Structure 1
Amino acid sequence: MKLKDKVSVITGGADGIGRATAQKFAKEGAKVVVADLNEDAGQNVVAEINNQGGEAVFFKLDVTNFDEVTALVEFAVNTFGSIDVMFNNAGIGINKPFLDHTPDDYHKVVAVNQHGVYYGMLAAARKMKELGVKGAIINNASVFGYVATLGVTGYQAAKGAVVMLTKHGALELAPYGIRVVGVAPAAVNTNIVEGYRAAGLLDYMKKQQLTRELIEPEEIAEVVSFLATDEARVMNGSVVMADDGFASFKSDLRPF
């Protein structure tokens, strides 16, 4: 119960890494706010947690709207009395070759993956400072914020920005006792890899990781859970590579 009574907010909590993290946080004793645009799926996660003896509530959220993100943080405080952990997890991907990638594609992905993280950081940090909470803000970055891959122009640009937002946020918020850290997965077995599957590149993606398998969402949730604990106090401004070695070597395989 390393997160006992910590009030934790998870964006994109209805599926994938967000869902797995919400369940993990609850098992560790946290009070969880599951935030997502998909209300039915989000309510299902809340029901799963509550049926297992945890505490969770749902908030319908569009992370591209700062007013809604601010309302989410207020909701968490009004419901559970505080906010200790903010996991900015919501993300989308569009898989197209660069020359087919449009400005609309780019802005859609950046609005969720970059602006949504910034909004979550800002709203949570302001409330933590107001309440005197020495909290943790965790951002879902990606190995693709460090190394280039095919077909995900906006995703890569946004995740690179998340890496720097994490460093900058940690620097700015340290005087208030607020930590900012990130996690950088590689190819995780969630809906976001469907573009690779549709393009026939999923086996290629697996071979870019040392175990030659997709990472499971629960494995990333374990890392995020540790980052949220007081035991991770000295981890600040860094992004943990949870990439199964993706960034550590280059395969000689080619997709074409």
Structure 2
Amino acid sequence: MSIDGKVALVTGAGQGIGRAIALRLAQDGAHIAIVDMNENKMTDVANEVSKIGRKASIFRADVSHRDEVYQAINDAERRLGGFDIMINNAGIVQVQALADVTPEEFDKIFKVNVQGVLWGIQAAAKKFKERQQKGKIISASSIAGHEGYGMLGVYAATKFAVRALTQTAAKEYASAGITVNAYCPGVVGTDMWVEIDRRFSELTGAAIGETYKKYVGGIALGRAETPEDVAAFVSFLSGPDSDYMTGQAPLIDGGMVYR
């Protein structure tokens, strides 16, 4: 069995892990609703999906705005003819000592990383129920959702919160046939880690590249994670082989954090 013909919506799909997820799910047979803030990047991903032979739609949305998330799902259903899989992938990072976090910084990251996931869970579950069908909701947590890291405390708090939302939603929506899981990557070679490394350099004086090298050095499998590594696991969560799994947030980090 596969996800052939299913419709999957991926937030933050214009680049990095989100792009890799969109392309992997397209390769596995799904039509892809691409949601992001950058229309040029969305168009590029849509073209790649089309080359694979699957349908694609694009919708510009800020996931911290509840109504825009609902609109994105309605648009995906209308343009792609269904709605089966919700990937709450969009997120931002913040590198800051706890003592220096401002109210504005706190609010910004929680609005995207936590509210964005909550609105995605709400909107997807509502749509699945309207369509009287089962569905899958999958959200981005992190190794920082299992263990706090210095200078990444508020970011970690948002990722712990994603795990809490995942567990609660799994319990609330199980009777409707909706499964809710999360994925927890480690050190992935994307623009987000470029930003993390840059900020550590600013705040600690470490040379550019040194923080990234330090964290990669702690990976048991001996290399940084790729977006495709994450996408392969999300593909499993999206497909029928994970139908008996709900409320979980497994680590996929090459061997960094062990739970």
TM-score range, shorter chain: over 0.9
Equivalents in 2 of 1:164, 1:78: separation in Å?
A: 31
| Pairing of 1:48-127 with structure 2 (within 5 A) | 48-127=48-127
> Runs ≥4 in structure 1, deviation > 3 angstroms?
none
Q: Indicate conservation of the 8 Å contact 2:184/2:250, yes or no.
A: yes
Q: Is the counterpart of residue 216 in structure 1 residue 226 in structure 2?
A: yes
Cα deviation, 1:4-23, whole Å, max 9, x if unaligned, reads 01110000000111000000
- TM-score with structure 1 setting the length: 0.94
Q: Indicate conservation of the 8 Å contact 1:105/1:154, yes or no.
A: no
Q: Indicate conservation of the 8 Å contact 2:14/2:36, yes or no.
A: yes
- Which of 175, 195, 201 does residue 211 from structure 2 map onto? 201
One-letter identity of the residue aligned with 1:216: T
Shift of 1:43: 0.9
- TM-score with structure 2 setting the length: 0.93
Tell me the secondary structure at the aligned position of residue 230 of structure 2: helix
Partner of 2:254: 244
Shift of 1:220: 0.3
Q: Indicate conservation of the 8 Å contact 1:106/1:153, yes or no.
A: no
Identity of aligned residues (%): 34
Tell me the secondary structure at the aligned position of residue 247 of structure 1: coil
Cα deviation, 1:32-78, whole Å, max 9, x if unaligned, reads 00100111111110011112322111110100000000001101111
Q: Indicate conservation of the 8 Å contact 1:83/1:133, yes or no.
A: no
Q: Is the counterpart of residue 230 in structure 1 residue 251 in structure 2?
A: no
Unaligned runs of 5+ in 2: 202-209
Shift of 1:239: 0.9
Which deviates more, 149-158 or 130-139?
149-158
Tell me the secondary structure at the aligned position of residue 239 of structure 1: coil
Q: Is the counterpart of residue 17 in structure 1 residue 17 in structure 2?
A: yes
Partner of 2:146: 146
One-letter identity of the residue aligned with 2:246: N
Tell me the secondary structure at the aligned position of residue 133 of structure 2: coil
Equivalents in 2 of 1:161, 1:204: separation in Å?
A: 27
Equivalents in 1 of 2:169, 2:120: separation in Å?
A: 11
Cα deviation, 1:108-158, whole Å, max 9, x if unaligned, reads 111111110000000000010110120100011111011111212221111
Partner of 1:167: 167
Equivalents in 2 of 1:212, 1:95: separation in Å?
A: 25
Q: Indicate conservation of the 8 Å contact 1:84/1:134, yes or no.
A: yes
One-letter identity of the residue aligned with 2:258: S
Shift of 1:97: 2.0
Partner of 2:42: 42
One-letter identity of the residue aligned with 1:66: R
Which deviates more, 112-121 or 195-204?
195-204
One-letter identity of the residue aligned with 2:32: V
Equivalents in 1 of 2:86, 2:52: separation in Å?
A: 22
Q: Number of paired residues? A: 249
